[in-house]
Amino acid sequence: MNCEEFRERIQLLFDEGEVELKDADMLAHIGICQVCAEFRDELRTIDATLRRIPFEPIPASLVLSLRQIAEPRALPSPGWKPDVERAAMYLIPGLLLWSSQWALPANARPYLLALITFIGTFTLLTSIFRPRILGPRRS
């Protein structure tokens, strides 16, 4: 057994709560390797010190919160109604504006189309950035 194997195995033993060595290979190794024997003694000291540290009990509210995180919850399925309402809110006025261009003289139509483009772009940008600036809409 080499020093690296000894250190890995003894750390695993301490993690499992085994303080005394029972493995013949490990006992033989610390008999000939003073560095590993000191390493074992240091681990014992650290383990004993850590076991003496008082610990605060976990608050019941934290335990409850952690348990609630682990509970499976059904996520609400996205409905189609808000999307249809939003599309109607923007599409119907847009179609009305667009169809009104035929009531205007030919030389005024480019101005109306520019106005429709501006209003559409403004509406799109405000619908994107409004929730990011003001927060989500509350119903």
Q: What is the mean pLDDT of each run of 10 residues along the chain (139 residues)?
A: 90 83 86 92 89 88 87 71 74 82 85 85 80 69
Residue 54's φ and ψ, nearest 5 degrees, are -70, 145
DSSP E strand boundaries for the chain: none
Confidence at residue 35, expressed as pLDDT on a 0 to 100 scale: 93
Per the structure block, which two tokens stand in for 31? 């008999």
**Is residue 23 within 8 Å of 1, Cβ to Cβ?**
no
The single-letter code of the amino acid at 78 is P
Confidence at residue 134, expressed as pLDDT on a 0 to 100 scale: 75
For residues 1 and 33, give the distance between their C-alpha atoms in angstroms, rounded to a whole number.
Answer: 11
Q: Cα–chain-centroid distance for residue 47?
A: 34
Confidence at residue 86, expressed as pLDDT on a 0 to 100 scale: 74
Choose among 5, 41, 48, 55: nearest CA to 25. Answer: 5
Confidence at residue 42, expressed as pLDDT on a 0 to 100 scale: 92
Confidence at residue 98, expressed as pLDDT on a 0 to 100 scale: 80
* Cβ burial, residue 81 (10 Å; 0-12/13-18/19+): exposed
